[in-house]
Structure 1
């Protein structure tokens, strides 16, 4: 279950920060605008002891910053008036009695108590027996007031805002999301506006690289014997992990702890995004994509993943608002058969999709209209992706080929056949701009991966020919692959459930981990942290990190 932080608590953190920094104008302005008081003290025991000892000057200075019930305030001010009278500080006692808000409330609601204070003030001699009625004493009254106020306030250790920010930085560093030494609050946690500077794998040149995610930290188990995830996707900002299941449901999870995101109201209420048939492809919009929604129907996308698109086995595509769970657009059908791969363009205006029907299509989000169609493959389309700032499209197919297309003219620019044996190509995956190579990784049903340039030229094969350990240990064909956030590592999983991590520059194996003995479906990698996800056919999703 997710942690929910009240907005009032955020304001109180700011109020405490302003108070500690002596930013009094900012403090009073925020209090006036929000009507929220800090309502905390640095040391609760010390505050209560001041009441018991009658240090009213100190107590009243703190009380004005607290949000205390009127009844408790009335009791406190009444006691202060009595004790000022006992000390014969009659001027201060009269001012407090006649000019303070709590005593005004006392006069309105309990006039007999107010008149009693006036009577005590008017007497030439202070008589404790007359002042404190019902067999009570000054000390007993102080104890009762302290006990009443103890439930009204909470303790806030000094510098809570800075402490929480520091703890956040430490947590992100532990998760591989940032480097604390270069932590940039306004850059998504890393020093260069969101590109992770700390995930590293030692390269032969001694460069900083990335850590292999070889430790399973969470297993998500789908209910029932026949329910399992068909596809998975991480949002580009790393805040969401989506699964699409064989029963048509789409669920959003916390990538860091593998728990269902119940900060999304519809999921907390047990309502899930769903399609009529099995969901077999998913993709998020960009982390800060502004959905082109004016006049398009539906809510605009948010900075936390924006929108999610899904494809199902009946050829339909759905566009979802993540925050509301509302389906903004259904394209029914987009293909005559299942939608195996799906992606949004950079402007979040068009949907690219590939299908079992051997076709690649582009639909407009607003209207759902088909705007482009690409023909040429002779078997299932297994993956599609935009390249070169959406100028080109790359596709892989079970016909054993990869094709590069012009996204405007739909012309096939080149056809690549990675193997002479016509092996199905499961994946052609563009490398991130931070990678050593400017191109894409190819995974076909073999024990090798290939890296090609963006023009279609073979750059290298992985594992390297001279990596005897890797060539000896890989006991079955690769079925899926993923690339690390900075493109320094490529991950591949075999039919027997082993994940291998390869240094993309040298082609050498870095590390491997056994995932499962059951049938593996696919894998996905986190866009920022060193995290991978693997799903199998018996209802498990495994999350790994270093």
Structure 2
């Protein structure tokens, strides 16, 4: 069963109508109902509404009815009853004014003239009206009861302030997942805290949660969803599992996982990537197969079989989610069309394993890193190699005999031409896509501390790198200074992933654990 919820556009309009009605914007309600052809036939309480009709609280009833779309017969009965009861109370002037000025009674004049003229005659009488003549022999309480029943058939009950209630629930959920900062003031329209720019990102320093893979299995790839809901793992036994991004518990609210029908490959899953809207997940495996999943249902919506000659190392969706990019042990990158189900493009030029690949922020370039020690910038449309750069080796490495492999390449947040390059040494670089080194960060270790993976925090204030000594090193992006280091795994570290909004890092290794780190 799908966990996806369809929302009718008319329900959204009703939320706005209710908000306008509750805030006295009657003209807005009227115009919106006319333009949208959607009416707000709701009351806070059916029981109270019935009581108002049966007790003749016509000021309340008419105000509510004015925002509803009711059958003509019901409207005529309602307004006729109000006029008759006014006459019984000897309020003939008010009754006559209603006959002259209210739209429903003027419509009665056009469509049921005899009925209208009777009301006019009764209103014009100078003598005290006889209730039997007014109500034509039917007791007043029965007339009210009949009108109440007719109204209830056309009216639904809805709790008050639904729009504000839903916004409140959304704010609570987004705050919990980190999509919204925990701040006293928040600009709901802009989607930002007023002083967000002044708030510093926190540096993660503490392991708070540990996920342990079953048996001797371990995670080969881990990724957070862009909306902050999910943490997805791809394991050495081919399982793709969805976890709560914050608590680290398996998401049993996804029916396919509750039923044990997990997303799976026949071989180890080595690469994962989400689409920008968090709807689709790409997974690449050891047999060079790629599967595209709809995360809400666990359904495989597209398969690409044997798209490389060797295992896949990296996958990435295009900005428009029309293509998926893959890199491989076979030294190539390829682009596969989600609609066609075919491989469309190939990038050739690396002399060793492609370790990582990303699209530029505008989608016009592909940037890849390889074990051959180079970073290449490609035209994403023509596959032309626009630039090849080799990060300079640390001073203790002889450039003529060894060039460190590139472990990771990722974009500098809010920059169009800056990237971070992590090399299999104790050094990482901030570089332009033209190849100029802007900043160098290093632990200074000569042996046993080569970097194998790296990530940047969402706003770019912190850089985290995993090293072969099973430690995580933290650098301040502004200064390049090493601010923190800690041992994270007992056995070889494999990779790092950062939550899109929260100060939350996932680290995974050959010890079979995924560890979540917070400040």
Q: Is the 8 A contact 1:432 1:485 kept in 2?
A: no
Matched residue, 2:374: 402
Give the Å deviation of 1:271.
Answer: 5.3
Q: How does 1:163-182 map to 2 (within 5 A)?
A: 164=168, 167=171, 171=175
Alpha-carbon separation, structure 1, partners of 2:323 and 2:6: 36
Matched residue, 1:225: 215
Q: Verify: 1:432 aligned to 2:412, yes or no.
A: yes
Give the Å deviation of 1:233.
Answer: 2.6
Q: Verify: 1:454 aligned to 2:433, yes or no.
A: yes
Q: How does 1:29-428 map to 2 (within 5 A)?
A: 29-30=32-33, 37=40, 39-41=42-44, 55-59=57-61, 61-62=63-64, 123=132, 153-157=157-161, 160=164, 164=168, 167=171, 171=175, 183=187, 185=189, 189-190=191-192, 198=197, 200-201=199-200, 210-214=201-205, 224-226=214-216, 228-235=218-225, 241-251=231-241, 255=245, 272-285=262-275, 287=276, 304-305=277-278, 307-320=280-293, 327=300, 329-346=302-319, 351-357=324-330, 359-365=331-337, 366=340, 367-369=342-344, 371-377=346-352, 380-386=353-359, 390-391=364-365, 393-397=367-371, 401-404=373-376, 406=378, 408-409=383-384, 413-416=388-391, 418=393, 420=397, 425=405, 427-428=407-408
Matched residue, 1:117: none
Unaligned 5+ residue runs, structure 1?
101-120, 202-209, 288-303, 466-470
Give the alignment's Cα RMSD to 1 decimal.
5.9
Q: How many residues align?
A: 473
Q: Is the 8 A contact 1:225 1:538 kept in 2?
A: no
Relative to structure 1, the CA distance from residue 131 to residue 37 in structure 2 (aligned partners, 3 Å threshold; closer, same or farther) is closer
Q: Is the 8 A contact 2:174 2:180 kept in 1?
A: no
Q: Is the 8 A contact 1:15 1:38 kept in 2?
A: no
Relative to structure 1, the CA distance from residue 492 to residue 10 in structure 2 (aligned partners, 3 Å threshold; closer, same or farther) is same
What are the Cα deviations for residues 121-155 of structure 1, in whole angstroms up to 9, with x where unaligned? 974799xxx9889xxxx9xx9xx99xx99x97454
Q: Is the 8 A contact 1:178 1:190 kept in 2?
A: no
Q: Select 1:24's aligned residue among 14, 19, 27.
A: 27
Give the Å deviation of 1:246.
Answer: 3.1
Give the Å deviation of 1:448.
Answer: 4.3
Alpha-carbon separation, structure 1, partners of 2:16 and 2:86: 36
Alpha-carbon separation, structure 2, partners of 1:166 and 1:48: 33
Q: Is the 8 A contact 2:181 2:193 kept in 1?
A: no
Q: Select 1:524's aligned residue among 474, 497, 500.
A: 497
Unaligned 5+ residue runs, structure 2?
109-129
Give TM-score, length-normalised by structure 2: 0.66
Give the Å deviation of 1:490.
Answer: 0.4
Give TM-score, length-normalised by structure 1: 0.63
What are the Cα deviations for residues 202-260 of structure 1, in whole angstroms up to 9, with x where unaligned? xxxxxxxx2224466766566x4355532123455656644323343434566466577
Relative to structure 1, the CA distance from residue 55 to residue 383 in structure 2 (aligned partners, 3 Å threshold; closer, same or farther) is same
What are the Cα deviations for residues 401-423 of structure 1, in whole angstroms up to 9, with x where unaligned? 23435553459834446352859
What are the Cα deviations for residues 161-182 of structure 1, in whole angstroms up to 9, with x where unaligned? 7963994699389656598878
Q: Verify: 1:442 aligned to 2:442, yes or no.
A: no
Q: Verify: 1:15 aligned to 2:17, yes or no.
A: yes
Alpha-carbon separation, structure 2, partners of 1:260 and 1:67: 47
Alpha-carbon separation, structure 1, partners of 2:83 and 2:38: 28
What are the Cα deviations for residues 499-543 of structure 1, in whole angstroms up to 9, with x where unaligned? 443112312234556655565432112345543222345665444
Relative to structure 1, the CA distance from residue 164 to residue 520 in structure 2 (aligned partners, 3 Å threshold; closer, same or farther) is same
Matched residue, 1:113: none
Q: Verify: 1:506 aligned to 2:487, yes or no.
A: no
What are the Cα deviations for residues 69-123 of structure 1, in whole angstroms up to 9, with x where unaligned? xxxx9xx99x99998898699998xx99xx99xxxxxxxxxxxxxxxxxxxx974
Alpha-carbon separation, structure 1, partners of 2:41 and 2:491: 55
Q: Select 1:485's aligned residue among 458, 461, 465.
A: 458
Relative to structure 1, the CA distance from residue 158 to residue 375 in structure 2 (aligned partners, 3 Å threshold; closer, same or farther) is closer
What are the Cα deviations for residues 349-396 of structure 1, in whole angstroms up to 9, with x where unaligned? 654433234x1222342332453333412xx44323455965463313
Relative to structure 1, the CA distance from residue 185 to residue 317 in structure 2 (aligned partners, 3 Å threshold; closer, same or farther) is same
What are the Cα deviations for residues 445-488 of structure 1, in whole angstroms up to 9, with x where unaligned? x55444444344555443466xxxxx8xx996544211112322
Q: Is the 8 A contact 2:360 2:411 kept in 1?
A: no
Relative to structure 1, the CA distance from residue 403 to residue 479 in structure 2 (aligned partners, 3 Å threshold; closer, same or farther) is closer
Q: Is the 8 A contact 1:387 1:430 kept in 2?
A: no
